[in-house]
Amino acid sequence: MIGAVEAAPYIAGALGVSGAGVWLSRRRELVRRWISWAVIAPVVGGAFALGAPGAAVLASAVAAVAMAEYGRMAGLRTAETAVAGTVVAALPATAWLAPDLLWRAALLGVLAAALVPVLSGDAEDGARRASRAVFGVAWLSAPVGLVLLGPAAFALVAAVAVADVGAWFGGHFFGRHGVGGPPLSPLSPAKRWGGAVTGAAAGVAVLALFGALTPGTAVAVAVAAPLGDLLESMVKRGAGVKDAGGWLPGMGGLLDRADSLLLALPVAVVLS
C-alpha cells in the first residue's frame, strides 16, 4: 500500500500540472481553490508521514475546527460547542493511546453534550440545543477514522479528495453538454449524477493505484462520500447559509472541504 511519503512525488506532480492549467485558465475560482489545495496537501501528507501520532493530531484539529463551524450554523451556545468540541477532539487521541476505551469515551461524550442544556436549566430551547449538540458529536467524531483505519486512511483521504475534484469537473463538463442527468438531491440541485459517477470512478481509481481498493473502501468513496456532501448541504440549508465558513479560499470552511470524508470514514471503518 502506498503511504504519504511514497505518494509525495505524485501529489506534487499533480499539483504542478493542475496549477499550470489553472493559471492558464485565469479563472479566479479555480486559482483560489488550487491555492487552498497547495496548502492542504502538504499539511495532510506531513501529518500522515508521522504515523499514528500525526494522524491523531490531524484528526483532532479537523474535528475541533469542524465543530466550531457547526456550532455557529446550528445556533449552539458557547458551552455546548466547547464541550462537544472537546469530546470530538479527544477521541482521536483516545483511539491512538487507549483504543479499548474509545467507545466508552464516545458514549460519555454524547451524554456530556446532551447534559449541558440540562445543567443550564433551559426549559424553552434545551431540547433543541441538546439534540443538535448530540448530532454534532455523532457526525464530527468521524475524523477518528483517520486513526482507526491505519495505513489505509491516507489512501482514503486522497481518493475522496480526487473524487470531489472529479465530480466537480465532471459535473461542469457534462452540464455544458446537457448530459449531466438529474440532480442528486433537492438538497443540492447543482450536483448531478454525471458528476457523481465521474467522481466515483476517479476515487476508485486512486484507491486501486494506492493499493487500498477493497469493497469497503470502494463503497466509502463511491457511495458514502457524495452522501456526506449532501448531509452537510442539509445542515447548511437548515441554517440558511451557503458555506460553513469563509477562511479557506475558494472552498468556504473546513466542513465544506471535509464533508464527504465525514461519512466516508465511518463507513470505511465499519466495512473494513
Tens of pLDDT, residue by residue over 161-177, are 999 988 888 877 776 76
Task: Please tell me the distance from the alpha carbon of residue 15 to that of residue 1, in angstroms, as a whole number.
Answer: 22
**Whether the Cβ atoms of residue 195 and residue 167 lie closer than 8 Å to each other:** yes
Task: Please tell me the distance from the alpha carbon of residue 14 to that of residue 162, in angstroms, as a whole number.
Answer: 11
Domain ranges of the chain: 53-148, 149-272
Closest by Cα among 56, 46, 64, 34 to 5? 46
Look up residue 222 and give its DSSP letter.
I
Q: Which residue has the cell 464541550?
A: 83
Identify the pLDDT of residue 250: 86
**pTM, 2 dp:** 0.94
User: In a 10 Å sphere around its CB, with 0-12 CB exposed, 13-18 middle and 19+ buried, how is residue 115 labelled?
Assistant: middle
**Grid cell for residue 248:** 479557506
pLDDT grade for 229, boundaries at 50, 70 and 90: very high
The mean pLDDT of 54-67, rounded to a whole number, is 98
Q: What b/e sequence results for 188-197 when a residue is b if at least 16 CB atoms lie within 10 Å of its CB, and e otherwise?
A: beebbbbbbb
For residue 179, pLDDT beyond 80 = no
Identify the three-state secondary structure at position 247: coil
Q: What is the mean pLDDT of the chain?
A: 92
The mean pLDDT of 236-252, rounded to a whole number, is 91
Identify the pLDDT of residue 169: 82
**Grid cell for residue 78:** 458557547
Closest by Cα among 263, 227, 269, 220 to 102? 269
Closest by Cα among 96, 178, 108 to 144? 96
Write phi, then psi, for 249 (nearest 5 degrees): -55, 125
Identify the pLDDT of residue 170: 82
Identify the pLDDT of residue 223: 96
Size (the chain), residues: 272
**Grid cell for residue 59:** 484528526
The mean pLDDT of 119-141, rounded to a whole number, is 92
